[in-house]
Amino acid sequence: MYRFRKDLEAKKAVEINVPHKKVMMCLNESTLNPLEAVKDQLLENLKLVPLNRYFNDITPKLKNKLAEYVGHGIKPSQILFGNGADEMLYYIFTSVRESVRSYAVSLAPSYFDYKSYCDAVGLGFEPIELNKDFNFSVEDYLEKLNHPNCKLGILCNPNNPTGNLIPDKKIVHILENTDKLVLLDETYFEFSGITFADVLHKYPNLVIVRSFSKAFSVAGLRFGYLITSEENAIEIGKVMTAFHSSLMIQTFAYTILENKEIFLTHTEKVKDIRNKLYLWMLSQDYITVYPSHTNFLIFTIGDSTPELFDYLSDNEVALRPVWGHPLLKNHIRISIGTQEEIEKFMQLFLKFIDRF
């Protein structure tokens, strides 16, 4: 006898399958150690947070600090936070899922865990395929979005794994031609500098999700947040657990925001390394590489790409294969590491190419 939800039996658990090597340029992580950057101030802040208690002033202080960071007149009551941007996605999907016919529409290829978490909560998933220049038909998107069974539109901006930005006018057109909730994933906002937080007041159907895992260097901390109208925040909050984020995590996130310039300065350095690597790749005859507004690049060397991936892995350099979607056949993604890590990648690449 199967004792769980009927549609769950055929689903697979979420799994991150990447090689674990000495040089990890596969998960879009930061190379800045956040504890070293803010350790003294973090310890001072933690002295004011008794972990034997459920409640502490750090929670409203963090919401105020996040609202201040987001700017554009956003109030603390318009912000929810939790265990990474992934958990915020999970809560949003849970809040809109109404029946077995309910579904969300997204772009493809895009962040693969949109589908994973839709599956987890029993929400259907309908993709709109990107074309060769990573663009898409707004009308096709709106047709699926405005179907009675569609409960949510998802847009990743910049998109992961392609790294490109969606033109503002397309996002505005979608927002102005639907009453459905639209989730705008701004996980890489600090790298792109593009946000819709400044026009949130115009669009009551907009929810923005962001993360501390990338520009703020705390992928292992697990902290993400969403920005939306006060009314939407109340409704999404109804599916969240009472104490979904530990006071220690909240204190760490607050301390990071107190020292945000350390992390934002590092982000600028990462962008500089990314741009130099992009130009180097453009200069190589064998590589097709794409411009990026994130902390990664995707590229291909054609049918030899899987062999390059294995060669790098054998030499303790882990990249991420993104060839699961037909549009990105034989493509891999490189996270921007330290200058030394990038130089090692380039040296190995040239040795690999010399074999041909």
Q: What is the pLDDT of residues 125-141, one digit of tens each?
A: 999 999 999 999 999 99
- Which is more confident, 5 or 16? 5
Contacts of 36 (CB under 8 A, 6+ apart): none
Q: State the average pLDDT for the chain.
A: 97
As given in the structure block, the two tokens for residue 101 are: 């016919």
pLDDT at 356: 74
Instruction: Return the number of other C-beta atoms located less than 10 Å from residue 355's C-beta.
Output: 8
d(CA 132, CA 152): 25
Starting at the edge strand found earlier in the chain, the sheet holding 296-300 runs: 288-289, 296-300, 331-335, 320-321
Residue 18: pLDDT over 90? no
Pairing of strands 124-129, 103-108: parallel
Q: What is the pLDDT of residues 318-338, one digit of tens each?
A: 999 999 999 999 999 999 999
d(CA 121, CA 96): 10
Residue 302: pLDDT over 90? yes
d(CA 292, CA 313): 23
Structural domains present in the chain: 6-32+261-353 (3.90.1150.10), 51-258 (3.40.640.10)
Taking the CA atoms of residue 43, residue 44, residue 46 and residue 48 in that order, the dihedral angle to the nearest 10 degrees is 160
As given in the structure block, the two tokens for residue 307 are: 């062999």
d(CA 34, CA 42): 10
Distance of CA 241 to the CA centre of its chain: 22
